[in-house]
A and B are shown apart, each in its own frame.
Chain A
Amino acid sequence: MNGLLPRHKRDPYWLLLPTVALLAVFFFYPLVDAVRLSLHEWDLLTEPRYVGLGNYRALIESGELWHALVTTLTFSVVVVAGSMLLGLGLALALNRDTAFAAFVRGAVFSAYVISWVSVALLWLWVLDSDAGALTAILRSVGLPTKNWLGDPNIALYSLAGVTIWKIAGYSMVLFLAGLQDIPRALYEAAALDGAGKFARFWNVTWPLLRPTTAFVATTSLIVSFQVFDVVRVMTQGGPVKSTTVFVYAIYEQVFLNLRVGRASALVVVFFGLLLVLTALQLYAWRKKGAT
C-alpha cells in the first residue's frame, strides 16, 4: 500500500469522519430502512403495521409494478437510442475548430445546463394543443397536428423527445472527447489506402469509439431510468397512467396515496434494477479501461 504513514494512528479516521457519518445517516441507513418500511403498511399518521411481503404481492397483483417497469423501459429505450444517435451525429459533424461549430455545440449543450423544470415548461408551451408553437407551425404548412401530451398513445414518446432534446448535448460532449482520442495518423493511413469517408468511419472511428459508446449508453440508460421532473411538470403520470414511470409511481404512493410501505417496496425493486444497470455500466467501464 502506498502513501505516507499518518503522524498519529487516529488521524486518517477523523479526517474521514464527516464523510462516513453523513454516508451512514443519509445513504446506508435509509437503504436498510427502505427494506424495513417495505414490509409494513404505513400511512404516516397511524402506527406502522407489519405485513410481510404483502406490499410486494399487492404491487404485482395490481399490475402496478409491471406497468411501471414497461413504461420506464419503453421511455429509456427511446431516450437512449435517440440521444445517442443524435449525440454521435452531432459530434461527427461538429468535431472541428471553427467558430460556427463551437456556436452549434454551445446551443445544443445549453439545454443540458438549464433545469429540467425549465425544459419541461418550455416544451409544455411549445407542445400546447391550442396555442402552442408546434401546432401553429404544423397548421401553417397544412400538416395534421396531434394532442402531443393528451393522447395516451403519444404522451410517453413526447416526454422521451423532450428528454432527448435535454440530454443530447451530454452524449455529444462525451462523443467529442472520444473522437479527439483517436489518433489522426490512423485516418491518414486509411486515406492513403484509398478508404472513403464511410470506410474510414466504419473501420477506424466506430471500432475505436466503441468503449465511449458503451459508456454513453449505460450512463444515459441510468439517467433516463430515474426520470421524474418532466413527468411531474408535464403530465403528472397521465393521461390514464400512460406516463407513470417508476419514480413517479413511488412519489404518487407516498405523497398522494400516503402508502409509505407500498412506495418503499417500489424503492427496493427500483434499487435492485439500478444495481443491475450499474453492473452493466461497470462492465462497460472495465472494457473502456482495457483499450
Chain B
Amino acid sequence: MKPLALSKGAENALLGCVALLWLLPYAWMVSTSFKTLPEIVRAPTAPLPAGLNFAAYQGVLEAMPLGRYFLNTTVMALGIAAIQILVALPAGYALAKLRYAGRGLAFGLVIATLLIPAQVRFVPVFTMLAEVSLINTMTALVLPFGVSAFGTFLIRQALLSVPDSIIEAARLDGASELRIVYGLLAPMLKPTLVAFFLFSFVYHWNDYFWPLVMTTDDQVRTLPLGIALLREQGTGVRWHVVMAGNVALSAPALLVFAFAQKHLLRAVAAKAF
C-alpha cells in the first residue's frame, strides 16, 4: 500500500466528519428552535436548549398565517407540477410519435426555453401581468411555469421507446388521440411521470425568487417568502423563532427526500443524460 493512502479507519473517520459538516447545521437549527430568547443572547452559546420549549413555534404562528402560506405553497407547487405534466404529455406524444411538417422546429423551440430562466423573464413578465392586474394572484405564480422544457423532453424520450404498434392497435379500436395520450400512454410512463412530478413539486415548493417578485400580499404569499420575512421584521435577533420557521420550511422537503430518494435521484441524473 502506498504511504499516502489512508487506512480504512482514518478514511471512515474523515467521512464521518464530512457527514457532520452537513448534519450539524440542521442540529443547530433544531436545537435553537427549542430555546428561549435569554438562551439565544447568552454568550457563550450552549449547544443544547435547557428544555423542550415550544414558545418559538408559537412565535412563528403569531408572526404569520402559517397555515395559509403552507396551503398557498402546496397549491402552487401541485398546480405547476400537474399542469406541466398535462401540457407536456400531448406535446411529448406529438414530438415523439407523429410525423408532420414543423416537428423539428417545435422541438427546437421547447429546448430553446432552457436558455430563458426565470431570472431573464421576470422583468417583462412582471410588467405584462401588472398590465392585466394579475400580480398577487395564483395565476401569476402558476401559469408562467405551465411549460417545462425538461418535463417535455423527459416525456418525449420515454415515449420514443414505446412501440408504434401499441398506438396503431388503439387507433383501430377507435380511441381518440387524447384517449391514447392520457388513457393509454400516460399509465405506461408512470415511473418517468412520478420522478418528474416529485422533482417539479419540490423545486417549486422551495422557490423563493418568483413568488418574491410576483406577490406583495398575504393572500398568495408562499412559505419560503414568509419564513425569510421572519428575519426582516426588525424585531431584533429572534433567532429561535426564525429557526422554528426554518424547521417548518425544510422538514417537508427533507421528508420527501427521505421517502423518495430514489425517484429524486433519478430525475437529477436524468437531467444530465
**B106 smallest CB distance to A (angstroms):** 6
Closest to B96 in A: A3
| A-B residue pairs in contact (CB < 8 Å), sample of 6 | A6-B98, A26-B143, A109-B257, A118-B227, A126-B28, A271-B115
Q: Indicate the member of B98, B212, B268 with the most A CB atoms within 10 Å.
A: B98
B contact residues around A202 at 8 Å (CB): none
Q: Specify which chain B residues have a CB less than 8 angstroms from the CB of A34 in the assembled complex.
A: 120, 123-124
Q: Which single member of B28, B106, B114, B116 contacts A31 (CB below 8 Å)?
A: B116
Q: Mark B258-273, 1 if CB is under 8 A from A, else 0.
A: 0001001100110011
Q: Are B116 and A27 in contact (CB under 8 A)?
A: yes
Query: Once the chains are docked, how many angstroms separate the CA of A196 from the CA of B234?
Result: 59
Tell whether A186 is near chain B: CB-to-CB under 8 Å: no
List CB contacts (< 8 Å) of A187-210 with chain B: 196-198
**Is A6 a contact of B171 with CB atoms below 8 Å?**
no
Contact between chains at B22 and A174 (CB < 8 Å): no
The B interface, classified by DSSP as helix, strand, loop or mixed, is helix
Asked if A15 contacts B231 (CB within 8 A), the reply is: no
Q: Does A64 contact B (CB under 8 A)?
A: no
A215 contacts across to B, CB distance below 8 A: 272
Binds A, one of B49-57, B58-66, B187-195, B235-243: B235-243
Residues of B within 8 A of A69 (CB): none
Contact call A275/B147, Cβ cutoff below 8 A: no
Given contacts A4-B167, A229-B209, contact A114 B254 (CB under 8 A): yes
8 A Cβ contacts from A99-117 to B: 100-101, 103-104, 106-117
Q: Which residues of A contact B121 (CB under 8 A)?
A: 26-27, 30-31
From residue A198, how far is it (CB to closest CB) to chain B in Å? 7
The answer, yes or no, to whether A140 is at the interface (CB within 8 Å) is yes
- Within 8 Å CB of A133, what residues of B? 24-25, 28, 45
Chain B residues in 8 Å Cβ range of A163: none
Kindly report which residue of chain A lies nearest to residue B22, judged by CB atoms: A107
Chain A interface helix/strand/loop/mixed: helix
* Residues of chain B whose beta carbon lies under 8 Å from any beta carbon of chain A: 2, 4-5, 11-12, 14-16, 18-19, 21-26, 28-29, 32, 40-45, 87-88, 90-91, 93-100, 102-103, 106, 109-110, 113-117, 119-121, 123-128, 130, 143-144, 146-147, 152, 164, 167-168, 171, 177, 181, 202, 205-209, 212-213, 224-225, 227-228, 231, 237, 239, 242-243, 245-246, 249-250, 253-254, 256-257, 261, 264-265, 268-269, 272-273
Closest to A233 in B: B228
Known interface pairs A117-B224, A165-B22, A274-B115. Does A15 touch B93 (Cβ–Cβ under 8 Å)? yes
With A1-B99, A113-B264 already in contact, the answer to whether A122 and B246 are too (CB < 8 A) is yes
- Of A52-60, A73-81, A148-156, A260-268, the one with at least 4 CB within 8 A of chain B: A260-268
Expressed in whole angstroms, the Cα–Cα distance for A247 and B124 within the complex equals 14
**A97 interface residue per 8 A CB criterion:** no
A2 within 8 A of partner (CB): yes
Do residues B119 and A228 form an inter-chain contact, with CB atoms below 8 A? Answer: yes
| A206-228 to B contact mask, C-beta < 8 Å, 1/0 | 00000010010001000000101
- In the complex formed, the residue of B with least CB distance to A198 is B2
Determine the distance from Cα of A52 to Cα of B90 in the docked complex, in whole angstroms.
43
Q: Is A177 an interface residue (CB 8 A)?
A: yes
A15-B177 in contact (CB<8A): yes
Q: Can you name the residue of chain A whose Cβ is closest to the Cβ of B224?
A: A117
**B120 CB contacts on chain A under 8 angstroms:** 30-31, 34, 267, 270-271, 274
Check if A93 sits within 8 Å of B147, measured CB to CB.
no
Q: Which of B40, B44, B245, B268 contacts A136 (CB 8 A)?
A: B44
Q: Which of A113, A170, A278 has the most CB of B within 10 A?
A: A113
Name the one of B14, B91, B96, B269 contacting A173, with C-beta atoms under 8 angstroms. B269
Contacts A30-B125, A94-B15 known; A113 to B257 CB distance under 8 Å?
Answer: yes
Question: A residues 12-53 with Cβ under 8 Å of B?
Answer: 12-13, 15-16, 18-20, 22-23, 26-31, 33-34, 37, 44
CB distance from A60 to the nearest CB of B (A): 19
B8 vs chain A, min Cβ distance (A): 11
A131 beta carbon closer than 8 Å to chain B = yes
Complex: A254 Cα to B123 Cα, angstroms: 7
User: Once the chains are docked, how many angstroms separate the CA of A112 from the CA of B203?
Assistant: 10
With A113-B254, A233-B228, A274-B120 already in contact, the answer to whether A100 and B15 are too (CB < 8 A) is yes
Contacts of B116 in A (CB 8 A): 27, 30-31, 271
A150 CB to closest chain B CB, in angstroms?
14
Q: How close is A173's CB to chain B, nearest CB, in angstroms?
A: 6
